[in-house]
Amino acid sequence: MKYLVIAKPGTTPIPPEHGADLIKATNDWLDAKLADGSIDVTYNFFGGGGFAISNSDSHENVLANLLSYPMYPFFEWQVKPILDREESLEQYIAFYQRLGSM
């Protein structure tokens, strides 16, 4: 399953004395997740935060992955399961075809 994972800066500030190390650890973490295929892509937002498309076989594994993110406590998180465009649109087409034949 694929998930859209959105991170927005939270209310807890990153301690300045740990900022550089946390960002380096986060970059390494993201590189490892991209390399092992558990994340497809990541982008940052101008001004802070960002999003990723992640892959997981369960919601629980998504949570476990997030909790291992080095900067987890400093963000507010939104996670949405996402669907393959073609597959989901085919289901909608079939739905409306059934609806139209009633």
For residue range 27-52, list pLDDT tens digits in order. Answer: 999 999 999 999 999 999 999 999 99
Owning domain of residue 17 = 2-100
- First vs last Cα of the chain: how many Å apart? 33
- Arithmetic mean of pLDDT, 72-100: 94
- Arithmetic mean of pLDDT, 60-72: 96
- Arithmetic mean of pLDDT, 57-83: 96
Rounded CA-CA distance 1/55 in Å is 6
Whether the pLDDT of residue 11 is over 90: the answer is yes
Rounded CA-CA distance 84/78 in Å is 19
Whether the pLDDT of residue 64 is over 80: the answer is yes
For residue range 87-100, list pLDDT tens digits in order. Answer: 999 999 999 999 98
Percent over 90 (pLDDT), the chain: 97
CATH number of the domain enclosing 64:
3.30.70.1060
According to the model, what pLDDT value does residue 102 have? Answer: 75
Domain tally, the chain: 1
